[in-house]
Structure 1
Amino acid sequence: MYQFDQYSLGQTDSELELDSREHNQLASQAMVRQARRSLDIASRQLDPSVYDQPDFIAAVKRMILDNRRCQVRVLVFEAQAIARRGHQLLQLAGDLSSFIELRQAARQHDDYGEALLVADRCGYIHRPLGNRYEAGANFSARRRAQALLNTFEDMWAHASSSVYLRRLSL
């Protein structure tokens, strides 16, 4: 079992092979706890077992409150399913809308089946098959993170807001 708190974002260049839901949860939480500037996530349904966990949500909130210039971008493919489930990240995005932006991927990217988290443009967790928990991760791999971000940026540029991703207040 990895001790993710021993890895430093932007400093520990070590390829990690994650193979379970728990590894993905812990690695994501550790990476976000250390992030200061940016967090980019691409996920079909914003995997609730990783991204809808109290520790993950608390880490994102703390990142924003501690670093008022940070940016969180979340790209999803099945916005209606996420909204129907009542994802905590949607609630947080409503509360901190100046820092968190959620978009629905364009139809031209519907075949993208990966899952991705990039923190501070240097640390990443990449699941080539987004519905599985086998992933590569590294807390300090700028080149690989940038290559993954290039794909993310292309999808982000074509993505749009979705009524399902907006918080409704009554």
Structure 2
Amino acid sequence: MEASIMYTTSAQPLMEHPERYLLGRTDGDITLETPDQLCLAVQRMAEQGRRSLWVTSRHLDPAIFDTPAVVEPISRLARSSRHADIRILIQDSDPLRGTTHRLIALAQRLSSRIQVRRMSEKDRRSVAEAFLVADRQGLIHQPQALRYQAVVNFHAPRRCKLMGEQFITYWDASEPDPHLRRLHL
């Protein structure tokens, strides 16, 4: 992983013309500062993803992941192909208990298409970042998972390879979260 990521451009163009940012084509880091900007970046990645969407998140922040703008394209991706690979790693599922979260509800309905797991105890203690990798081309990286400051790049295959390898390491050590399973009565 790179020691530091250079934040080069503001999110204003992304907010004004999101259609100009194409997964696998539009290169250049964009700085994100607000929940709305982060939500739009996740939405654009999910809308354009064709094969995979790998997410690590502290607790699936409702301002980002419990919105129709994000959940609907993830649902379309999951239903688009039986080969779609949607994996979500959560560090802390406690805030999700006893709530109705759209993405968790979708994952429960489409459990064969969307996998949700909890990071290992060791990783939960040591990982401070959150990130999303779409089709191994697009990347959203939050160096501090509890802050909205992030960088997005729609064409960063080398960084996606590194982050994807990190994701797989976390995933292999993760476990199903019994609190997020759907109860069948």
C-alpha distance in 1 between matches for 2:115 and 2:168? 14
Task: Work out the percentage of aligned pairs sharing the same amino acid.
Answer: 36
SS in 1 for 2:128: coil
CA contact (8 A) 1:83 1:90 kept: no
Is structure 2 residue 169 aligned with structure 1 residue 154?
yes
User: Which residue in 2 is equivalent to 1:124?
Assistant: 139
C-alpha distance in 1 between matches for 2:176 and 2:118? 6
Aligned ranges for residues 8-157 of structure 1 at < 5 Å? 8-109=22-123, 110-157=125-172
C-alpha distance in 2 between matches for 1:87 and 1:164? 13
Is structure 2 residue 177 aligned with structure 1 residue 165?
no
Q: Could you list the runs of 5+ residues in structure 2 that have no partner in the other structure? A: 1-11
C-alpha distance in 1 between matches for 2:78 and 2:116? 15
TM, length-normalised to structure 1: 0.95
Letter in 2 for 1:26: L
C-alpha distance in 2 between matches for 1:167 and 1:29? 25
TM, length-normalised to structure 2: 0.88
Please tell me the root mean square deviation across aligned C-alpha atoms, in Å: 1.2
